[in-house]
Chain A
Amino acid sequence: GESVGLHLPTLSVQEGDNSIINCAYSNSASDYFIWYKQESGKGPQFIIDIRSNMDKRQGQRVTVLLNKTVKHLSLQIAATQPGDSAVYFCAETGANSKLTFGKGITLSVRP
């Protein structure tokens, strides 16, 4: 079946470094992608989104890149901070509004 998946289960980075979290998706009909951050005991929190007619979108310290050719999505976090430690999920949806999540990756920031 179609799914959204993440390449690595954990990522450890040094405070101040840039982080890159990758995601592969398989549904070519998906046209809207979202990155979520989930902290312990909380629900997923929206970080940034991108539509399929774009290949890059920037927010505050975060950038999402979309490569439709290889069905790849990435989240870049600049100057990673301890507060960025969390589980990150990519999610995708299309015309049916059904939001499908990847399995998540844990980002651990070393002081």
Chain B
Amino acid sequence: DAGVIQSPRHEVTEMGQEVTLRCKPISGHNSLFWYRQTMMRGLELLIYFNNNVPIDDSGMPEDRFSAKMPNASFSTLKIQPSEPRDSAVYFCASSFAGSGYGYTFGSGTRLTVV
């Protein structure tokens, strides 16, 4: 298994532009999580899905952030418009809900908004 796959690995964009981050979870996993990591705030859960349905989006910072999971093998996190304070590493993780096994993380997307 290739693990959780995220793209792109690095993204540099100008303030005001739309940014789309992508995630492919591990095949068979039915829960997907988006996290943001910064030095100041650590790892923050933004949103998570069970069986493609958003369960808890209370961590999404504001309306500029949106996430979708159109099918079991793909999810996107979109920021529109992006701002410099959105600069962070964004991680996607997946698991099989109820299995009690560790959640597997992707390698992350490092976003820089200038």
Contacts and interface: CB of A to CB of B under 8 A. Distances in A.
7 contacts: A42-B108, A43-B108, A44-B105, A97-B98, A99-B45, A99-B95, A103-B42
Contacts of B95: 97, 99
Given A97-B48, A103-B42, A46 B104 contact: yes
Interface residues of A, number: 21
A101 B42 contact: yes
Interface centre among B4, B104, B105 (most CB of A within 10 A): B105
B36 to A, nearest CB: 11
A89 interface: yes
A34 interface: yes
Given A43-B4, A49-B101, A51-B100, 14 more contacts: A34-B102, A42-B108, A43-B91, A43-B106, A43-B107, A44-B93, A45-B105, A46-B102, A46-B103, A89-B43, A97-B50, A98-B48, A98-B55, A99-B103
Interface residues of B, number: 25
Nearest to B59: A98
Interface centre among A45, A99, A104 (most CB of B within 10 A): A99
B56 A96 contact: yes
The 5 A-B residue pairs with the shortest CB-CB distance, nearest first, are A46-B102, A43-B105, A101-B43, A103-B42, A44-B105
Contacts of B75: none
Given A45-B105, A46-B103, A49-B102, A97 B97 contact: yes
Interface string A75-96: 0000000000000010100001
B100 A44 contact: no
A98 B56 contact: yes
Contacts of A43: 4, 91, 93, 105-108
Given A96-B56, A98-B48, A42 B107 contact: yes
